A = this chain, B = another copy of it.
Amino acid sequence: MQDVAEGLKAAMRRMPGPVALVTTTDPDGGGYAGLAASAVIPVSMEPPSMLVAINRGASAHATVARAGRFCINLLCTGQTDLVRLFSSSERRAERFAGEGWSVHDGLPWLPAACASIFCTVGTTQHFGTHELFVGAVDDVIAGAGTEPMGWIEGDFARMLGLQVQSA
């Protein structure tokens, strides 16, 4: 089974994904919380819903679960510093201190991102290390960001369209 896990990890390093900051607000007065996530997919367009897989060991996991709401901010290539900030537990206090944040319906979001998707948790399910949160989409705000940021081989990436390139 170790071989399968190692093989899957190697394959996942080569699977393109988005870079998102999933944010929420502690309903018990603990302030804002968030985490960087790449395991984000649309579930259905009718009704509009999104799924995000969150590691149960992440510090923001319990807050998302308690809040029952979250915002998926799809980042742009200019926002790599923000991801590093959310990946450093020592700098947790700085995460929402910058000027880049707005608040919509009580949730922090990033106007400079490519898009911010506001969700209310519908169903959740535990699978090993992670919990899947399926959220009904309440609102979508198209951000000011122009170039979507991807994730591959443990590195941030820009996407170069093959047809655009060959045109």
Contacts and interface: CB of A to CB of B under 8 A. Distances in A.
B155 A43 contact: no
| Copies of this chain, whole number | 2
B45 A142 contact: no
A106 interface: no
A40 B138 CA distance: 23
Interface residues of A, number: 67
A139 interface: yes
Interface stretch (A28-36, A59-67, A93-101, A120-128): A120-128
A122 B161 CA distance: 35
Given A10-B142, A15-B74, A159 B159 contact: yes
A131 to B, nearest CB: 10
